[in-house]
Each structure stands twice: as structure tokens, then as C-alpha cells.
């Protein structure tokens, strides 16, 4: 009869349970907040693809940027034409001056990749606001349809 109650019957090795390194999980890693340009890229993509209404950006834009978005949003320049939703692939930003971030993002639409560039400016209240947006190298002018 086996008197060792921690070992299953029939087990002959002398070692106990082996330590297994814990698997990395996103839940265990500390949450790192998104940078302003990453947050804005997601929001701009949602508006320009028709997933969110343009007024979702109200208060997050300055100058003509909101007017441009308001005229462009109905045409959904980043809207899916092949049945797949556009996805933000990469987003990088540079800070050419204090309180300014110029960012670019690549957006995948099925097998097609589009580029988006935008400028953020930090106001006296320390909030970031979008001041300009461009898609695929062409400026998003109010009244002019975006490239398809």
C-alpha cells in the first residue's frame, strides 16, 4: 500500500511537481495607456469608415478639421467595399515641437493598405485635438470626395 498521499498510485519517480514557467498573458501585463496619436487614429478610422458618426469627434478637433470630417464622413472614404472592415495596422507619431504630434497610420482594407496622416495639437487645457487629416497623400479638402 502506498503511504505517500501526495503521489498518485503507480507513480514511480521521486520528483515532485515540476515548476512550469507561467505563460505570458495580456491580463497579467500592466495596462499601458494608449498614446494620443494611437487613440486618435482609432477614432478617425471609426468615423471615416462609417462605424461612428462624425459628431463623435466633436470637441476632439480644432480649426477646419471637424468641417472636413463632417463633409467627408457620409462618403466613408475608408469604408469597406469588399465586405471586410478596415483595421488599423500601425500608428507612429513624432513630436516636431512641444504640444504638437504629427502621426501616420497604415490601414488595411482586405488586401488593400491605405495611409492616413494627421496632426494633433495640445491646447492650454492639456487636451489633444486633431487639427488636420490626410488620406493616401491627398489632403482631405472639404467638398472634394476622398480617393477610393
Residue 7 pLDDT > 80: no
User: Which range among 26-40, 60-74, 133-147 shows the weakest confidence by mean pLDDT?
Assistant: 133-147
Question: Residue 5: its pLDDT value, please?
Answer: 61
Own/partner contacts of 17-22, CB < 8 Å, gap of 24 or more, are: none
Residue 32 pLDDT > 80: no
Question: Residue 140: its pLDDT value, please?
Answer: 52
Question: Residue 121: its pLDDT value, please?
Answer: 96
Q: CA-to-CA distance for 16 and 116, rounded, in angstroms? A: 56
Q: Where are the beta strands (DSSP E) in 9-111?
A: 87-97, 100-109
Domains of the chain: 36-135 (3.10.450)
SS3 5: coil
What's the half-sphere exposure (Cβ side, CA atoms, 13 Å) at 45? 23
Q: CA-to-CA distance for 89 and 91, rounded, in angstroms? A: 7
Question: Residue 89: its pLDDT value, please?
Answer: 93
- Sequence-separated (6 or more) residues with CB below 8 Å from residue 18: none
Q: CA-to-CA distance for 53 and 69, rounded, in angstroms? A: 10
Q: Where are the beta strands (DSSP E) in the chain?
A: 87-97, 100-109, 112-122, 128-135, 138-139
Confidence of residue 138 (pLDDT cuts 50, 70, 90): very low
Residue tagged 497623400 (cell numbers): 137
pLDDT 10s digits, 50-106 = 889 999 998 999 988 888 888 777 777 777 666 678 899 999 999 999 999 999 999
Amino acid at each position: 500500500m502506498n503511504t505517500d498521499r501526495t503521489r498518485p498510485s503507480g507513480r514511480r519517480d521521486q520528483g515532485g511537481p515540476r515548476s512550469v514557467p507561467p505563460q505570458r498573458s495580456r491580463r497579467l501585463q500592466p495596462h499601458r495607456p494608449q498614446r494620443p496619436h494611437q487613440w486618435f487614429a482609432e477614432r478617425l478610422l471609426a468615423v471615416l469608415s462609417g462605424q461612428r458618426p462624425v459628431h463623435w469627434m466633436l470637441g476632439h478637433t480644432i480649426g477646419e478639421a471637424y468641417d472636413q470630417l463632417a463633409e467627408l464622413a457620409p462618403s466613408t472614404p475608408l469604408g469597406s467595399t469588399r465586405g471586410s472592415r478596415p483595421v488599423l495596422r500601425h500608428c507612429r507619431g513624432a513630436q516636431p515641437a512641444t504640444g504638437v504630434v504629427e502621426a501616420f497610420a497604415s490601414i488595411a482594407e482586405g488586401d488593400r493598405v491605405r495611409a492616413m496622416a494627421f496632426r494633433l495639437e495640445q491646447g492650454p487645457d492639456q487636451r489633444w485635438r486633431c487639427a488636420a487629416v490626410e488620406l493616401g497623400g491627398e489632403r482631405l479638402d472639404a467638398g472634394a470626395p476622398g480617393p477610393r
